[in-house]
Amino acid sequence: MNLYLKSILFWFILLVVAIANAVVREAWYKPVLLPYIGHWAHQISSLTGIILFFVVIYYFIKRLRSEFTYRKVLFIGAQWFFMTVVFETWMNVFIRKLTVGQVLETYYFWNGETWIFVLLSLIVSPLIAYRIVRSKGDMLLK
């Protein structure tokens, strides 16, 4: 199977990880944190999402290491970024019924929004994971 097709299919694993992360946030720690520190549950969820994405991306790259080059890793990260933006925009506009302006506000990091950092991690995480896997040490997560 083509590496790019594998990466598209792998994006659905990232989607499952993101949904699981959101479920844990909404069911477990958001109700506890909400009365005390406002909407920080979303910032915490962004951080845990970035970490979880890195872990699964690392294993994806490690498993298929022989198929990757730096250029392919960069392309795949950008592919995941754009797939996620399209999916999130579609979901927010057509399912959550947000306006395009409200969707754009989720990118305003200067207002405390952290979504853009999650998206950027989809580009950066594969690059970092690839460097680690390529290095002779490859001691992380053995």
**17 neighbors 53 (Cβ within 8 angstroms):** yes
Q: Collapsing DSSP states into helix, strand and coil, what is residue 103?
A: helix
Nearest of 68, 64, 44 to residue 56 by alpha carbon: 64
Question: pTM of this prediction?
Answer: 0.89
What pLDDT is attached to residue 141? 46
What pLDDT is attached to residue 38? 67
Task: For residue range 16-42, list pLDDT tens digits in order.
Answer: 999 999 999 999 988 888 877 767 888
Query: What's the Cα-to-Cα distance from 6 to each of 11, 61, 64, 90, rounded to whole Å?
Result: 9, 11, 10, 23
Q: What angle do CA 63, 51, 127 make, to 5 degrees?
A: 50
What pLDDT is attached to residue 87? 97
**Which segments of the chain have a pLDDT < 50?**
140-142
Domain map of the chain by residue range?
Answer: 3-133
